[in-house]
A and B are shown apart, each in its own frame.
Chain A
């Protein structure tokens, strides 16, 4: 059982915590892993100012392609291609809709969810903290939706690599700041933190790490072998 109803709205306003320049550039060039690209695409859906940055990065990428010294195509490439022009185009890419119809969950993420957030098979991690693991074959770290009941503190933890946490509903605080819907918290192994969910609603967040979490609090150490983030 999940303790509190999930509010079906995302409070207005735009995110205050954004993709780093490096991540944005890597998204633009296609250099991110599937899991990290998922977080980036989901944040971009919720963040017009990062979309403006992306448009700039893509324009620069286009200009760099334009400026690159051309490499001659193989002999006959144009003729082979011209011969294919009259073949019917493949059907437009199907949008992956999966099972979630939540209109506030970014489309790139909905594609990974079998049901609405309310009906996901949440697994209890500890009292007040629930997890739904995304199916991301080959991903080394954690890639999950986390759901934290109001006022609940996550186990204190640090990371061996990087952690990206995108708030989808509700909000949380940790010593690095306040994070509401659309905000992206980026932490690395220098940050030992303990996010606490806001008092008024469940906090649902997409959390992706490139290495397993390392729990640091007393409670955390005790739980570590069981959590298997």
Chain B
């Protein structure tokens, strides 16, 4: 893949969010809904939600996109990443009444990043499309374990039990997959 090619997928979705922020653009919202709601629903079902609840939480997640469009910063995050964290939070809030301790970027106690670290964060934010391609290209065994770790919230030892693989194999395959994807982010 040509790293200099324009990242049109990301731009399109971020443009839609910008249109909502600027002009309460309902047509833009419909496009975002049609692309992301069924994927967020699928993600939530993999996390263990029943279909009806996943549908409900996917709707709530998209509603949050409409309501918070003005706070979205396309330099800091791809729309898919933003929705991933919104859906994560909706689900935590739905399954437990406890508080949800969360990193706050405005926290006065935040230890600032060096310029190099800030760069790494931006690189991660801007690598959505390359990551998509790289995930499709992972060896099946690595991709499966990565999906289990991300989508089923299983600890490495749970995954070892569920798959019958030795714990060391689980750890090394997940590490390999993460390293490959990290290399994609860093090559940007």
Write the residues of chain A forming the contact surface with B, with a CB cutoff of 8 angstroms. Answer: 14, 21-22, 25-26, 28-31, 34, 37-38, 40-42, 44-49, 51-52, 54-56, 58-74, 77-78, 80-82, 84-85, 89-90, 95-96, 102-111, 136-138, 182
Contact = CB atoms under 8 A, between A and B. Distances in A.
B85 A58 contact: yes
Band of interface residues on B: 35 or more
Given A64-B147, A73-B37, A59 B83 contact: no
Contacts of B127: 59
A65 B175 CA distance: 20
B104 A107 contact: yes
Contacts of A66: 39, 80, 128, 132
Nearest to A104: B109
Given A34-B101, A56-B185, A58-B84, A63 B124 contact: no
B117 A51 contact: yes
B159 to A, nearest CB: 10
B21 interface: no
A51 B26 contact: no
Contact of A62 (B26, B84, B103, B121): B84
B69 to A, nearest CB: 11
Contact of A55 (B51, B62, B124): B124
Secondary structure class of chain A's binding surface, majority of residues: helix
Contacts of A26: 153, 155
B72 interface: no
B27 to A, nearest CB: 11
Nearest to A39: B101
6 contacts: A45-B111, A59-B124, A59-B131, A60-B178, A62-B82, A78-B34
Interface string B39-72: 1111101110001101100110011001100000
B83 A63 contact: no
A82 B82 CA distance: 21
B18 interface: no
Given A108-B103, A108-B104, A21 B109 contact: no
B41 to A, nearest CB: 5
6 A-B pairs with least C-beta separation: A62-B81, A70-B38, A31-B153, A62-B80, A48-B113, A63-B131
Pick from B33, B52, B175 the residue with the most CB of A within 10 Å: B33
A138 B124 contact: no
Pick from A58, A103, A110 the residue with the most CB of B within 10 Å: A58
A51 B110 CA distance: 10
Interface in B104-159: 104, 107-114, 117-118, 120-121, 124-125, 127-128, 131-132, 134-136, 146-147, 149-151, 153, 155-156
B88 interface: yes
B43 A65 contact: yes
B112 to A, nearest CB: 7
